[in-house]
């Protein structure tokens, strides 16, 4: 009997195959008391387990193909570094010694403290970094259980299979992609996990958050994975198989046809030029952006350099990274987003000793954190100014709510320029300065920002979350996350019109921009600059180059007037299939 399981889309694509269940169930952890003369042996057992995991991950790291890029390796390096962090080395040892408890229980206590610290972070991207803690802890627990062995997986088990696991580490993902998996499914995790980011870069279809998977999936089941919609069809009938095989062929044909668009200008049928930029985070994303003909980088996320390290990166390290991105884009503009970290940074070492925020959703994060911690902010601003001497750079400030924040950023920039001038270091004196419009207050006051800044970029991920009071990675409420909610669409239109009236460029860099279902609607609302993941760029480009702006404007206003969600969805569908709009 065929049935469907619903999860969260982690990476687009369709896969059809047999399930291979990766057994990594929760450990049954017992607490027991140690005799005093057994404590030293338990300490040694814990150290040996940590070392076994380190040796295994170093082996995985050494076998990575060079084509995967430095930052894919960095995902695994994060886990290796965590194995040398006091939080997972000294702290559990102290607990074993002080409480005279077994290593497994000591590690569980420390894990609970670390996860609680991450749970206090509002930023959804950073909150999911607790996945790294969970994954490393599970490896150590497994090594303790197996007598200091961390065998990883058998590569012959996964070729041509769809893997289901409670969660996957970046090391698992890279290894399994090398072994030829078709797709992966996870019980936990979400679209912002390292594993999901890797899956999108590696083009592996993936669905996360399949909480009912352990109850209904069995090893060897035939399944269809619909990564775009976050759906898994178990034991599909012939009709479903024919439909999805046809979709696979269509996708393959579309991919082939889109290659013809690589050198084509991004122009609508009636001759309107659209800017199509790329969102990047990893090294391979930068090179992929250049390969698919992006007009530039509309969002370069800088947070990765700050994650899972005892000290923030120094100015010189940041400068070298930003310069390499600017040079790789060979004259195309690069928009660098300043630090977009969340509130409690105890785990990351950015604000050691800082108390957890009472309400992190309204707390110290992004530009607020940077303006409070100027010594954290200035090295990044100096590095960006220096990198801008090597090519066109725009600087984008996240989570701005009031113009006073941008005035403070300008003051710090002036100080940085004066310092660089006195030090004789080359830098760009003029760098376009813009803001991410992701706080509803900023969207409502977009006319003020548009008159004051060089550009605006709509960050729909947070704008939707803040407008609808819904966490898109919370399985209990993410059904409420709706890009077509009238409040969201009105805010988007408000920002676009404010830019038009002030002759200020307005882009969109959130996930809505990269979803081809919304491309024509956004064009009809007046958006002229999109920034999307490189893997989505050609699909969005194809929609743009087959669209007619005149009709789209009229159809978009029908969507804006619709009062029911079902009506809006139907109108967007009509917009995408109306031949007269093409």
Active site residues: 194, 509
Alpha-carbon distance of 433 to 438, in angstroms, equals 16
Identify which of 265, 266, 264, 292 has the alpha carbon closest to the alpha carbon of residue 278. 292
Identify which of 1, 21, 14, 7 has the alpha carbon closest to the alpha carbon of residue 231. 7
Alpha-carbon distance of 200 to 203, in angstroms, equals 5
Q: What is the DSSP letter of 464?
A: H
In angstroms, how far is CA 140 from the centroid of its own chain?
26
Residue owning tokens 């898109």: 472
135, HSE (Cβ side, Cα atoms, 13 Å):
28
Identify which of 543, 498, 501, 500 has the alpha carbon closest to the alpha carbon of residue 523. 543
Q: Which two tokens stand for residue 408?
A: 């403070």
Beta bridge partners of 278: 297, 532
Beta bridge partners of 206: 11, 184
Check if the beta carbon of residue 306 is closer than 8 Å to that of residue 313.
Answer: yes
Phi, psi of 576 (to 5 degrees): -80, -20
Please state whether beta strands 14-21 and 222-226 pair in parallel, antiparallel, or not at all (unpaired): antiparallel
Give the DSSP H or E segment for 6. Answer: strand 3-6
- In 10 A of CB 142, how many CB atoms? 18
3-state DSSP call for residue 369? helix
């Amino acid at each position: 009997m065929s049935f469907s399981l619903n999860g969260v889309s982690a990476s687009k694509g369709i896969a059809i195959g047999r399930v291979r269940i990766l057994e990594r169930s929760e450990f049954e952890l017992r607490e027991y008391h140690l005799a005093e003369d057994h404590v030293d042996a338990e300490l040694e057992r814990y150290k040996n387990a940590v070392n076994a995991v380190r040796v295994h991950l170093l082996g995985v790291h050494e076998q990575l193909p060079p084509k995967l890029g430095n930052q894919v390796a960095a995902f695994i390096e994060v886990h290796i570094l965590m194995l040398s962090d006091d939080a997972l080395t000294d702290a559990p040892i102290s607990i074993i010694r002080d409480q005279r408890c077994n290593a497994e229980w000591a590690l569980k206590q420390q894990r609970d403290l670390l996860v609680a610290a991450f749970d206090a972070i509002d930023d959804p991207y950073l909150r999911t970094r607790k996945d790294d803690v969970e994954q490393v802890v599970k490896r150590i627990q497994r090594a303790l259980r197996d007598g200091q062995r961390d065998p990883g997986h058998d590569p012959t088990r996964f070729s041509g299979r769809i893997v289901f696991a409670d969660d996957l580490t970046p090391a698992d993902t890279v290894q399994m992609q090398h072994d030829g998996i078709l797709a992966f499914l996870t019980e936990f995790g979400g679209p912002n996990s390292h594993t999901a980011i890797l899956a999108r870069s590696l083009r592996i279809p993936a669905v996360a958050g399949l909480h009912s998977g352990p109850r209904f999936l069995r090893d060897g089941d035939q399944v269809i994975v619909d990564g775009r919609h976050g759906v898994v069809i178990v034991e599909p009938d012939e009709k479903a198989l024919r439909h999805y095989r046809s979709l696979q062929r269509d996708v393959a044909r579309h991919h082939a046809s889109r290659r013809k668009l690589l050198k084509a200008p991004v122009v609508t049928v009636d001759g309107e030029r659209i800017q199509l930029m790329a969102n990047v985070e990893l090294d391979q994303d930068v090179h992929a952006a250049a390969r698919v003909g992006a007009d530039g980088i509309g969002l370069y996320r800088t947070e990765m350099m700050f994650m899972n390290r005892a000290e923030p990166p120094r100015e010189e390290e940041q400068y070298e990274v930003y310069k390499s991105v600017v040079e790789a884009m060979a004259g195309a503009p690069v928009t660098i987003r300043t630090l977009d970290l969340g509130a409690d940074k105890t785990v990351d070492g950015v604000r050691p000793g800082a108390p957890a925020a009472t309400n992190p959703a309204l707390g110290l994060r992004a530009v607020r954190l940077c303006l409070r911690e100027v010594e954290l902010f200035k090295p990044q601003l100096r590095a960006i100014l220096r990198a801008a001497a090597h090519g066109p750079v725009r600087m984008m400030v996240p989570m701005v709510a009031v113009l006073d924040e941008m005035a403070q950023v300008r003051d710090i920039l002036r100080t940085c320029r004066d310092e660089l001038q006195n030090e004789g270091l080359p830098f760009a004196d003029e760098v376009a300065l813009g803001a991410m419009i992701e706080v509803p207050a900023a969207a409502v006051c977009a006319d003020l920002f548009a008159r004051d800044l060089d550009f605006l970029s709509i960050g729909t991920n947070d704008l939707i979350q803040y407008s609808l009071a819904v966490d898109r990675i919370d399985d209990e409420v993410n059904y409420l996350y709706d890009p077509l909610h009238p409040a969201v669409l009105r805010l988007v239109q408000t920002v676009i019109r404010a830019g038009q009236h002030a002759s200020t460029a307005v882009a969109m860099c959130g996930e809505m921009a990269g979803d081809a279902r919304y491309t024509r609607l956004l064009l009809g609302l007046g958006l002229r600059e999109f920034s999307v993941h490189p893997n989505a760029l050609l699909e969005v480009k194809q929609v743009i180059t087959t669209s007619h702006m005149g009709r789209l404007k009229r159809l978009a206003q029908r969507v804006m007037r619709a009062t029911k969600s079902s009506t809006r969805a139907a109108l967007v569908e009509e917009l995408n299939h109306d031949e007269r709009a093409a």
